[in-house]
A and B are shown apart, each in its own frame.
Chain A
Amino acid sequence: MISLAVSVRDLSVHYGRRCVFERVTFDVGVGQSLGVIGPNGSGKTTLLRAVAGCLAPRSGDIRINGLTPRDAYERTGVAYFAGDATLPGSVRAARWGSLANGDAVTSDTRPIRALSRGTRQLLGLRTALGRQPLGLIVLDEPWEGLDPDAARWLSTILESKRDRGAGVVLSSHRLHDLAGLCDMYLFLLPRHAALIRAHEIAQGALVTAELLAETFDRLRNGGSPLRAAS
C-alpha cells in the first residue's frame, strides 16, 4: 500500500457566496506528482492554497502525511510558492533568499521589485524549494516567466525531489511542462473535476501536451471522465 503525501477528501471552497469548486477528491502518494489543469478562474490557485493550508475550506478534509496541514508543517517540510507576485517587493533579494535554510540563494542585493519577472520567479522557487527535508511540494504556475534553462532546472529538481519521496502538486497552463512530469492529472472545470492517471490518458505510452489538450477539450465538451473526482 502506497503511503500518501497528501490526501484531499470532498473539498469545497467558497469565497463568500461564490462557490469556487465543490467536492474535489484526490490522493497524491509519496514520490508521486499531480498536475492541476483548468481554465482561468476554475480555482487552481485556490485549490493549491487550500492544500498548502493557507486557506480553510468550507468543507472537506486535507491531510498531509496523515496530519492536518498545520500539524504537518513542523514534521513534514512543505514547499509552497504561488508566483512572483506574492514576493514582497521592498525586500532585498539576498535577504529573502536567506529565509530558505540560512544559505544564500542569491547574492543579488537589489529589492525584489527591481528584478525581472523571471528572476523573481526563480528566487521564489529556489527559496521555497530550499527547505530540507521536503515531504510535499505545492507550486502554482511554477514555469511562468522562466527562461528555457531555468525551466529545465525546475523540471529536473522537481523530478529529483519526487524521486526522493516528496509528493508534488503543480498547476500550470504549460501542458508540455506538466506532460512529462506528472503521474496523474486533475482537470478542474467549472462545477466539475476529473482525476485521470497518466497511463489512462496515454494507454501506456508517454503523456504528451497534445494528449492532455485533447483530454481537456473532451471533458470541457461534456465527455465522460475516465475517473470521476467529484
Chain B
Amino acid sequence: MAAQPFYSRGMSNTEALLKVENLRVEVPTRRGTLVAVDDVSFDIAPGEVLGVVGESGAGKSLTGAAIIGLLEPPLKIAGGSITLAGRRIDNLPYEAMRRIRGKEIGAIFQDPLTSLNPLYTIGRQLVETIRTHLDLGPAKARGRALSLLREVGIAGADERIDHYPHQFSGGMRQRVVIALALAANPRLIIADEPTTALDVSIQAQIIALLKRLGRDHGTAIMLVTHDMGVIAETAHRVAVMYAGRIVEIGPVRRIVDRPSHPYTKGLMASIPRTAGPRGRLRQIDGTMPRLNAIPPGCPFSPRCTEALDRCRRERPDLMPANETQAACWQCAPVAEHANA
C-alpha cells in the first residue's frame, strides 16, 4: 500500500479512519471533577502514523485508552465523539466495543515484560487472540501465529511458539506483543510508549519494525511517546499535547523544523544537538500544571516567554499557523492581535 499524502484535520479527501472530535475525559474526585483530556480533536488517515508527544501526565495515554475503550473507572468520557471508519465507537456497549478491540483497533503497551501472561506459552496467547476474532480452526490459527512470528522477526518461530514469555529477551518480547496486536489485522494500532522500556539499540529495531508493518499492512498507528526522536523518525504528523490539550498539530517536518507554539519551540530547543555550536542545554522553566491546578486561559501561559495578556485570560483554540495548527494567540491574524 503506497503512502498517501496526508492532510491536517478536516481537510482530507481520503476519508479519515479515526476521527476524534472534542474528546473530553474527566475523573470525578472528592475535591471536584478533574479534566484529564480537554477538547482534543484530531484525525488519523488510513496507513498514517500520527505521533502524540508530550510530557508525562499530559493526557496522551488517556487519549489512547479512551479510543480503545479501556478507560478505568472512575475515568470516563465526558464529551466529544470518537468515530472509526464513519461509525461512532465511544458510546458503544461493552460487548460491541470488545469486538472492535483487537479486530479493528489494536494496542501495544510500554512494558513487554508485564504485557504477557507468564503462565501461558506465546503460542497459546496468539492462537487465542486469532481465534477470538477470525474464524479459523486450531491448526490454521497456529499457522497464522507462526507466520506472524516470522513477520515480526522472531527466528526459529516453529520452536519458539511453544516457549513461555520469560524465555524471551525484552526486545523479542515486544516483537511478540506486536505480533499479538496485529493478530487480527486491525486497521489502527495505538502504541503507547512501545520503546521506552527497551534498550536504545533495540528501540531502533522495534521502530523500524513498526514502520515496516504499518506500511505492509496499511495499518494506521497512533504513536504515543515522550521521545521526540522516535517521532521524527517514524511519524507523518505530530500532535503535541500539554495539560490535556493539543497545543500544536501538523506534519512532522514542520513541527520539528519550524514549530509555531512556544511550548513546541521549547521542546525542540531542549533536544541536545551534536552538530553545531554547543551552548547550555535549554529547558523550559517550571513544570506542567497538575490536573487540579490548571490556570485559566492558556495552560502554558505561566511558563511562556512570549505570553500576552490575552493568553492569561482566554483559552486559545487550534488555529492555522505556518502549515501547522497551533493553539496560541500569537498565531492569531494580525488584526485580532492588535485588539488584544
Co-assembled chains A and B: no
Listed in ascending order, the chain B residues whose CB lies under 8 Å from chain A are none
